[in-house]
Chain A
């Protein structure tokens, strides 16, 4: 498998791509935090937040609707919020009954449901844009600069590095299983459900041992190359004046969004 199979980075020459990753990570978190802070039914502010997102999309030169097209990831989870429309607070809008249970939809519930969906949808778009304009190692580097525990960041960067290798391992295991599981069309093949789950379990055990032993080999290889517990980087990121300017401008826009939401 190619090492970029999991990568979500989209190359382009743009202002957002050149921006210091620390600025991008902080602004993404600030944007999501801002969405969470907005009171319910602050439609104008949520609209403004979407507008900011569109501006960011445009600035990234990936296309105005880049994140919109990829933003339906969180949709299945919306089911969990659906029950909010039956909130007992607020005035009933209409009610219907299913199997002897009367359900009443209230205006407060509808507002709450819409608020949750819009916030989730905006937040996921911000996260999508972040990984699209920033190479993943740069994001991790930014997190390290932002005082996340270095050890955790190093573990995550190792995870990222070996994701492809172990995925290849899984694909080999799956291919081996498929090759040994011949079946005739129309006839029942393989054992029962329990047996199939057990085979998957054995594969997980096999994968575990291969991974464990691989980590031993990796450690030995690292030691023989002079590893002392620290990973070094050739990319010391430095904040340029233009990065500070962008950060200030964007934070001001986010603050404006908050004010729009809170004044009524």
Chain B
């Protein structure tokens, strides 16, 4: 079928276990909150609405338009979903889309799915909805302009975060991966922006009730505006810094003890794959492996617990 892998879906094996689990934890937290929030606002109606909306985002990703010489512009849809459906529903919709892409089409890995959902679903909802809500009471041209900018920035920010995750995992060199990812997605983001603006304009003409200022305000509080502006500023400031002065960023990360934790994870707490007490024997290495595996298992169980609590 017309299915082409998008460049932002990280496959398994490209991120270290620690980075994968950290982003799984963040994603689980956000998705758990989203579930309870939409449960309050929509109740049982949310299942058909969000299921079909997720199918919409998936199908809309097929709407490509010819750019030049065989390449075509694509559509990710995270910002649009968050603007029209609200941020919590947008997160759930994008989670469903990214899950099915990973589970059914192997587009994006399973262990790194938390990171993929965070980059393409949560970050895009934060920037897309946050900036849009900021301008929800001003005139239509400005509002659509802001929505377009938000869609563009959300694409660029996902690319930046993906690049940073790859770097922290020791998979890519910072000075190569950041300019490459940003360069491609500065352009892809333009397509995303035009499609988002045109789609919003169309929806506003055909169904103005779906995009009224009151509806937007009821879907997410001021916290989204604050978070969205904060993350957007972060992305805008970090992008030039990361591509122009990678050494500076590397230094900051090193000072914060970030880089070591990412690159040699998860064995940092178990130096040289051994447990200090047992000395450098095979037994020690085995024990270190077992401890690492148990730690990971414990974290997964904890996430599962918190999810169940959030659900019930």
Contact = CB atoms under 8 A, between A and B. Distances in A.
Interface of A: 5-6, 8, 28-29, 32-33, 35-37, 39, 73-74, 76-77, 80-84, 86-87, 112, 116-124, 127-128, 131, 136, 139, 147-152, 154-163, 165-167, 169-170, 173-174, 193-194, 196-209, 211-212, 214-216, 218-219, 222, 227-229, 231, 258-259, 262-264
B58 A228 contact: no
A131 B65 contact: no
Contacts of B75: 200, 204
B212 interface: no
Nearest to B65: A200
A202 B52 contact: no
Interface stretch (B95-103, B122-130, B214-222, B232-240): B95-103
Nearest to B289: A262
A29 B80 CA distance: 32
Contact of A36 (B16, B68, B100, B176): B16
Contacts of A198: 194, 198
Contacts of A29: 110-111
Given A162-B52, A169-B59, A209-B203, 10 more contacts: A29-B111, A127-B102, A149-B310, A157-B51, A170-B60, A197-B65, A197-B195, A200-B65, A200-B75, A218-B52
Contact of A227 (B44, B53, B292): B44
A222 B196 CA distance: 31
Given A84-B172, A263-B282, A205 B198 contact: yes
Given A84-B170, A120-B11, A158-B48, A205 B273 contact: no
B289 A37 contact: yes
Contact of A73 (B5, B58, B66, B80): B5
Which secondary structure characterizes the binding site on chain A? helix
Contacts, number: 299
Nearest to B75: A204
B173 A258 contact: no
A196 B44 CA distance: 39
Interface residues of B, number: 100
Given A32-B110, A201-B199, A208 B56 contact: yes
Nearest to B49: A215
Contact of A196 (B12, B47, B65, B80): B65
Given A215-B53, A262-B289, A36 B96 contact: no
Nearest to A86: B173
A212 B207 contact: yes
Nearest to B107: A73
Contacts of B46: 151, 155
A162 B57 CA distance: 11
B230 interface: no
A3 B59 CA distance: 14
B1 A158 contact: no
Contacts of B198: 197-202, 204-205
A82 B173 CA distance: 9
Interface in B97-123: 97, 99-100, 102-107, 109-111
A216 B42 CA distance: 13
Contacts of B172: 80-84
B285 interface: yes
A154 B51 contact: yes
Name the 3 nearest CB pairs between A and B, nearest first.
A158-B51, A201-B198, A205-B202
Contact of B13 (A120, A159, A166, A212): A120
B58 A155 contact: no
A147 B32 CA distance: 13
A196 B191 CA distance: 10
Contacts of B293: 37, 258
B73 to A, nearest CB: 6
12 contacts: A6-B1, A80-B180, A123-B13, A127-B106, A193-B67, A200-B75, A201-B194, A205-B199, A211-B55, A216-B49, A262-B286, A263-B286
Nearest to B52: A215
A85 B43 CA distance: 51
Contacts of B285: 262-264
Contacts of A262: 273, 285-286, 288-289
A205 B73 contact: no
A202 B45 contact: no
A155 B60 contact: no
Nearest to B292: A37
B242 interface: no
A120 B63 contact: no
Contacts of A201: 194-199, 201-202
B120 to A, nearest CB: 15
A212 B153 CA distance: 26
* Most chain B C-beta atoms within 10 Å of own C-beta, residue among A120, A199, A264: A120
A82 B44 CA distance: 47
Given A32-B111, A35-B13, A262-B288, A209 B104 contact: no
A200 B73 contact: yes
Nearest to B47: A154
Nearest to A88: B173
B26 interface: no
A117 B12 CA distance: 10
